[in-house]
Amino acid sequence: MTRLLQGVGAASGTGIGKAVWWRKETPEVTDSPASDVDREILSLEQAIEKAREQIRRLREVAAERMGEEEAAVFDAHLAFLDDPAYTGEMKSRIRSEKKNAAYVCHTVTDEMAGLLASLDDEYMRARADDIRDVGGRLLLLLSGKEPFDPSTIPDGSVVVADELTPSDTARFPEGITGMVTAKGSRTAHAAIMARTLGIPAVLGLGESIDEIRDGDTLVLDGDKGTVLINPPAEEVEQAKEQIRLQKLRREQALKAAEEDAFTADGKRIHVLANIGSLQDLGPSEANHAEGVGLLRTEFLYLESSRWPSEEEQTRAYERVLNAFGDRPVIIRTLDIGGDKDLPYHAMPREENPFLGHRAIRFCLSRPDIFKTQLRALLRAASHGNLWIMFPMVQSLAEIRAAKALLEECRTELEQEGVAVPNKIPVGIMIEVPAAAVIADLLAKEVDFMSIGTNDLTQYTLAADRGNEQVADLYDAAHPAVLRLVHMTCRAGAQAGIPVGMCGELAGDPEMTPLLVGLGLDELSMSPSSIPEVKARVRAVDFKKAALLAEKALELESADEVRRLVRRFTP
Ligand code: PEP
Ligand code: MG
């Protein structure tokens, strides 16, 4: 009998295949005392050494199959092996608690993973999976067992597992047609890798996954997050047809994505990538991003155990700028606070963190931290086409203060003999309703504006972007948000500066005609959406899109807007 399971769509596309359960071996751990503490420490050190060799090999395989950026996750694994707070802590506990190495490895891994998983930040939570991956490897090595070899899984299989780690995913053979897990989220590294490899994935099925047996035929939909167990033959045929069409569409869109996107009547729309870490550089290139519309620099601060130095930041910015040559790279200055905390900086508790001391507000209050970043940006600038963007701006005074600090940094660097390019465009994000309302005034102070609909929507509709209970109220297609977008575009056009959008709305292909019609010059999104959005831009007639936008601005609700957009024929 056919069964339908619902999880989270983590990597897009339809997949069909035979289920292969992958139950990972987890060695038994007891808290028996260590009879010889030195011997336990030696076993741990040998396990660490072997783990290092294995992870280095894995890194090579991953680099070959997915590119350097995806392989970088294994650098994080190697770093854990040398981390005094992790393996160092294990050694000192073996000594102080006189327990066996496997037990201590298990408890320290569990504690650190638990701590990371409890943090508010999604990125840090995903690091919990990485440390479990490393800990599991060490435990296997300590028990003398060989890790299961995923390359033995036959082609045409859908891998079914409780949880998948980056180490697992990197070693799956290319013929795997899907991945299905009980645990995991869209931001887990295994999910990101599945997207890069183009393997459809449904994660987070929970206990319902136990209904799947080895050898069942599975049809999974990585967009809707569904898994069908043993569907009738005609449904399998339909899914096969869907896979054929998807492949064709993707190939066509990807091929066409090499070219710039113009509307049918000749308006150029720039389509750029949002980048949240250096790992996104590969996919940006593969999907033909015309540049970076938003580099969220938070990753540099979140991956570090202290404030990142000017030197470290300079190197990272140079890497991104070098990768894009003369294409524009918009780097956003630090946006912490709100839902993003740093483990090494105690933020005072706030009643309303999203309305509190975040982003540009925090940076202006800590010129030491802000100037380190600005200096690093200016030092890296000669490596490419840098544009600097300030987040969460709500007043002219903030722009002027930030620009004054930037000028101060330029003067200092020039006195130190560092060459800084003359003209670096400086812009702001429009993500506070007040900024959209006075966009005409702000536009006179900046070289460009970029609309952050993720925050603009939550502030306009007074609906927390992360609160499931008000998720039905949170929709960027609400006419109130669209009116603010329209006002901003008009203000930009009057001031003669470009206006882009880098919130999630920009990457929704269904919305492309409306956004073009509202007057946006540039759309920036997660790299995988670029080909589809470019294809939509080409299909649109700008004049018709402008009429569509005019109608949308008069509608009463987000639902009405979405219905109108779906009916629109370009
Ligand atoms: C936004 O608010 O739309 C945005 C792009 O910034 P972030 O999602 O990083 O807050
Ligand atoms: Mg924002």
Residue-level pLDDT at 217: 96
Give the residue, out of 121, 335, 390, with the most ligand 1 atoms within 8 A of its beta carbon, to mutate for a pocket test: 335
**CA 179 – CA 188 distance, rounded (Å):** 13
Residue-level pLDDT at 192: 67
Residue with CA closest to ligand 1 atom 9: 296
**CA 411 – CA 452 distance, rounded (Å):** 31
Domain with CATH 3.20.20.60 in the chain: 257-567
Domain with CATH 3.50.30.10 in the chain: 3-24+149-249
**CB of 526 closer than 6 A to ligand 1?**
no
Sheet with 226-229, edge to edge strand ranges = 3-6, 226-229, 217-221, 14-22, 157-161, 178-181, 201-203, 8-11
In angstroms, the first-to-last Cα distance of the chain is 43
Question: Averaged in consecutive runs of 10 residues, what is the pLDDT profile of the chain (570 residues)?
Answer: 87 92 83 90 92 86 74 86 91 93 93 82 74 90 78 90 81 88 72 77 91 96 92 95 89 91 97 90 92 94 90 97 97 89 84 94 97 98 98 98 98 97 97 98 98 95 81 90 98 98 90 97 92 94 97 96 89
**C-alpha 68 – ligand 2 centre gap (Å):** 28
Residue-level pLDDT at 170: 76
What's the one-letter identity of residue 462? A
**CA 282 – CA 277 distance, rounded (Å):** 11
**CB of 452 closer than 6 A to ligand 1?**
yes
Give the count of beta carbons closer than 10 Å to the beta carbon of residue 417.
Answer: 6
What's the one-letter identity of residue 120? D
**CB of 453 closer than 6 A to ligand 1?**
yes
Residue with CA closest to ligand 1 atom 8: 454
**CA 539 – CA 543 distance, rounded (Å):** 12
What's the one-letter identity of residue 417? G
Residue-level pLDDT at 559: 92
Which position among 106, 189, 383, 478 bears the catalytic label?
Answer: 189
Please report where in the chains the tokens 């000028």 appear, as a residue: 407
Please write the tens of the pLDDT for every residue from 194-235.
Answer: 876 778 999 889 899 999 999 999 999 998 889 999 999 999
Give the residue, out of 429, 451, 460, 464, with the most ligand 1 atoms within 8 A of its beta carbon, to mutate for a pocket test: 429
Q: Is 189 in the active site? A: yes
CATH topology classification for 3-24+149-249:
Glucose Oxidase; domain 1 (3.50.30)
Options 3.30.2140.20, 3.40.50.720, 1.10.420.10, 1.10.274.10; CATH for 37-142 is 1.10.274.10
Domain with CATH 1.10.274.10 in the chain: 37-142
Q: Do 262 and 36 touch, CB atoms closer than 8 A?
A: no
The angle formed by the CA atoms of residues 537, 542 and 545, to the nearest 5 degrees, is: 90
**C-alpha 245 – ligand 1 centre gap (Å):** 33
Residue-level pLDDT at 462: 96
Please report where in the chains the tokens 């987890």 appear, as a residue: 26
**CB of 121 closer than 6 A to ligand 1?**
no
**CB of 296 closer than 6 A to ligand 1?**
yes
**CA 551 – CA 536 distance, rounded (Å):** 20
Residue-level pLDDT at 119: 75
Options 3.20.20.60, 3.10.180.10, 3.90.79.10, 3.30.1330.30; CATH for 257-567 is 3.20.20.60
Nearest ligand, measured from the Cα of 507: 1
Specify the pairing of strand 14-22 against strand 217-221.
Answer: antiparallel
Helix (H, G, I), strand (E, B) or coil at 544: helix
Residue with CA closest to ligand 1 atom 7: 454
How is residue 392 written in tokens?
């969460």
